A and B are shown apart, each in its own frame.
Chain A
């Protein structure tokens, strides 16, 4: 079963625009929601993460918004740059440390 659903599957944004990727989770035992960034030919790397006791976390141009009641969270990339072009994965994990990923979003930033 897919415990974390991610959309859209692909996204094209103009340089300087805002990129938004959405995720929804089913497992209420999840208490940690990271986002990973993957460049071609590489393994994913942690970008930013949030716990459900806060509604927003910002690191530079990257912001996570979290809605616990709706079981949804999203990644916003402000002032998107060509170097942000990559595949982004949301994920969830809980006490059992079973790390489950969404389907991924291929982001392309056009110059």
Chain B
């Protein structure tokens, strides 16, 4: 059972380049999330989705875009990468409802130089 799969695991981008971080889950979860984790800092919510076709901004959405065309996939797009976007990015999915649990991917470590 794969759970939440993120690709790539590592990436180095040059300033101004664009890329898409992939996230896929095989648990048929409605809710999906993108977080960034800076060194020594907490998890900041970038975007989240409550189902296919529905997305909403989190705490730090600037510089990012998302789409949710299927239940399984929730890609995060970085346009015009900046050094401030250097971080570890985590995708998570959750069933929702009472006593819910979020399942996280292994993370993508992104460096913008």
Residue positions of A touching B, CB distance < 8 A? 1, 6, 9, 32, 34, 36, 41-46, 49, 51, 89, 93, 96-104, 106
- Is A42 in contact with B48, judged by CB distance below 8 angstroms? no
| Complex Cα spacing A103 to B45, Å | 12
Contact partner, B101, options A6, A34, A51, A101, Cβ 8 Å: A34
Contact yes or no, A45 B104, CB < 8 A: yes
Given A42-B106, A43-B90, A43-B107: A101 and B100 within 8 A (CB)? no
Q: How many pairs of A and B residues are in contact by the CB < 8 Å rule?
A: 65
Residues of A within 8 A of B90 (CB): 43-44
Q: Which of A98, A99, A103 contacts B92 (CB 8 A)?
A: A99
Tell whether, in the assembled complex, residue B42 and residue A98 are in contact, meaning their CB atoms are under 8 Å apart.
no
Q: Are B31 and A97 in contact (CB under 8 A)?
A: yes
Q: Nearest B residue to A49 by beta-carbon distance?
A: B99
Are A103 and B50 touching (Cβ within 8 A)?
Answer: no
Bound complex: CA A99 to CA B103 (Å): 12
Contact in complex: B101, A104 (CB < 8 Å)? no
B contacts with A, residue count (CB < 8 A) = 28
Q: A96-B50, A98-B45 are in contact. Are A32 and B104 (CB under 8 A)?
A: no
Q: Can you name 8 A-B residue pairings with CB atoms under 8 Å?
A: A43-B4, A45-B104, A49-B101, A99-B94, A100-B59, A101-B35, A101-B45, A104-B43
Given A44-B43, A103-B42, A104-B43, answer yes or no on A98-B105 (Cβ-Cβ < 8 Å): no
Contact with A along B24-58 (1 / 0, CB 8 A): 00000001010100001111110010100000101
- The reply to whether A99 and B106 contact each other, CB–CB distance below 8 Å, is no
B15 CB–A CB distance under 8 Å? no
B102 within 8 A of A: yes
State whether A98 touches B35 (Cβ < 8 A): no
B57 CB to nearest chain A CB (Å) = 10
Q: Beyond the given A42-B106, A43-B4, A97-B94, could you list 20 further A-B residue pairs with CB under 8 A, ordered by the A residue number?
A: A6-B42, A32-B100, A43-B92, A44-B102, A44-B104, A49-B99, A49-B101, A51-B98, A98-B45, A98-B56, A98-B58, A99-B31, A99-B45, A100-B59, A101-B35, A101-B44, A101-B45, A102-B42, A104-B41, A104-B43
